[in-house]
Amino acid sequence: MKRIAAWITLLALLGMLAGCSKQGSAQTETSAQAETEAQSSGESEPQADEGAETEGETAAEEMPEPVNLRVAYHPNFGGNNLYITAEKNGFFEEEGLIVEPVKFTAGPQEVAAMVAGDVDIGYIGHGATFLAVQRQVNVFLTEFLGNGDEILTYKDSGITSLEDLKGKTIATAPGTSGETVLNLALEKAGLTSDDVNIVNMDAAGMVAAIVGKKVDACTLWPPQTTEVRKAMGEDNIVSLATIGDFRDQFAFPGHWVVTPKFMDENPDIMVRFSRAMLKAMDYRKEHPEETAENVAEFIDAPLDSVMEEMNRIDMFDADYCYQVMTDGTAAQWYDALQNLYVKDGSVEKTVPVEEWFCPEFVKEAYESMKN
């Protein structure tokens, strides 16, 4: 039975790699053919120049052709720590990538910009991953699991449990991880969206609304949860639910996405970007405080709030990223999520995970680092 299970896992992974990658094998064959032709054509150079030529070829191989990339980030720890780590430590530069960061505060707007061609690659949280199920983007690199989203209220709201939300006004940002935790919490309490008054706001708007007591509750994530606690006082805040409360049912990954068009047209760039990010994963594992300081400086945020968010996510290193992305674990996470999206109405139906979860670039990047 163990052999059968192993073969099933292997076949599933091969299916993912085949489903997402249209150019990988063709590119390898083309490179091999070009190398063979180069070796068979032309006369041998004099022996004295051979060493210099080899040295020049090696230098050329080590310096990939420079490419400009517009990369979307979010102004919180989860949304940019891997980017800023790769940038600060020269990992993009090693791959010949010149990255222009572009700030977004929510996934749906970011994905719209990507589809329009204004952004090449970007980070999104799990809340906007339904857009991958809709085939607008593909997930190609999973970097952490989140625990930070919360439903917050204040002591004199009269709300002490999820059931008390009935008839109350709740602020949330549609298409975000905050909306996901709200839907899960309402279901747990035996409520639906019809039982509450939901108002849509961005993160900054929700902070102002809950601090001003204009709403009864809100769904937020760090660093905004820290802002609310500082403004109202920890003793005055009631956390009704966190996304970690539902970890036994779902995993909530943070990841990097790209449009199918950009991915298919730029497989080499995808591998180079993935390799830079894998290097950044290992660096942040060894230097967590430095990573938090760089993020705080980059987004101009208090270091303590950045540290709080960092401590609320389960960060991957390169080894674990490779493992979960190639052994079927992450595919199971995403399949469970898309069923959740169908349930809450974000998408009409599920599609095969291998159509939008594409681990082949991480696989190639990781194996090139280890060989």
What are the structural domain ranges in the chain? 64-145+251-370, 150-246
Closest of 254, 365, 253, 265 to residue 21, by C-alpha = 265
What integer pLDDT is reported at residue 41 of this predicted model? Answer: 44
Q: Does domain 64-145+251-370 have CATH number 3.40.190.10?
A: yes
* CB contact at 8 A, 141 and 330: no
Q: How confident is the model at residue 345 (pLDDT cuts 50, 70, 90)?
A: confident
Residue of 346 and 92 predicted with greater confidence? 92
**pTM above threshold 0.85:** no
What is the percent of the chain where pLDDT is above 70? 83
pLDDT above 70 (res 155): yes
List phi, psi (to 5°) of 75: -80, 55
**What mean pLDDT comes out for the span 321-344?**
94
CATH for 150-246?
3.40.190.10
64-145+251-370 and 150-246: identical CATH topology = yes
What is the secondary structure of 259-308 as a DSSP string? -HHHHHH-HHHHHHHHHHHHHHHHHHHH-HHHHHHHHHHHHT--HHHHHH
Query: DSSP 3-state assignment of 61?
Result: helix
Residue 86 has pLDDT above 60, yes or no: yes
- Pick the closest to residue 208 from 179, 242, 232 (CA basis): 232
Mean predicted confidence (pLDDT) in 187-209: 95
| Residue 32: count of CB within 10 angstroms of its CB | 10
Give tens-digit pLDDT for 4-46: 334 434 444 445 544 574 443 333 343 434 444 444 444 444 4
